[in-house]
Amino acid sequence: MKPSPYIRPVKTAAASIGERRMHWTRFLRKEALYRLPSAEFLAAEEGLASATRSRRGQNKAAWINTSLRIDQIAVVEVLQKLHLQNTGKEISRAEVLAALMAAGLGAVLARDEFSASR
């Protein structure tokens, strides 16, 4: 992808880092709202947010407990390294996963076993 010549003015250095860190997460949410049944997606999102708020005294939020296999984590870590090599910028595992999900969401929904009618 060709980098944009536009450089957005930032208020603070911390804000600029946060904006870049959330790029793939925001893109995934936009894709999910476009491709998935919106009411179901928003209900699931609200349910997870409610569960997280109700578990404040506990160590792990509901959305943290997702099991991934060794090969899946290996793919994420290799993509992290490739991103660093190609851009000179670090990217979190969550952002790599969001990029993978956003890129593959359309292909997964095109399969009969995952099709969603809008």
Domain definitions of the chain by residue range: 13-114
Q: pLDDT confidence of 21, banded at 50, 70, 90? A: low
Over 50: is that where the pLDDT of 14 sits? no
pTM: 0.65
Are 84 and 90 a contacting pair, CB within 8 Å? yes
* Structure confidence by residue, pLDDT tens digits, 74-113: 999 999 999 999 988 888 888 999 999 999 999 999 999 9
DSSP string, 65-76: -----HHHHHHH
Q: What is the pLDDT of residue 100?
A: 94
Q: Which of 7-16, 25-34, 58-67 has the lowest mean pLDDT?
A: 7-16
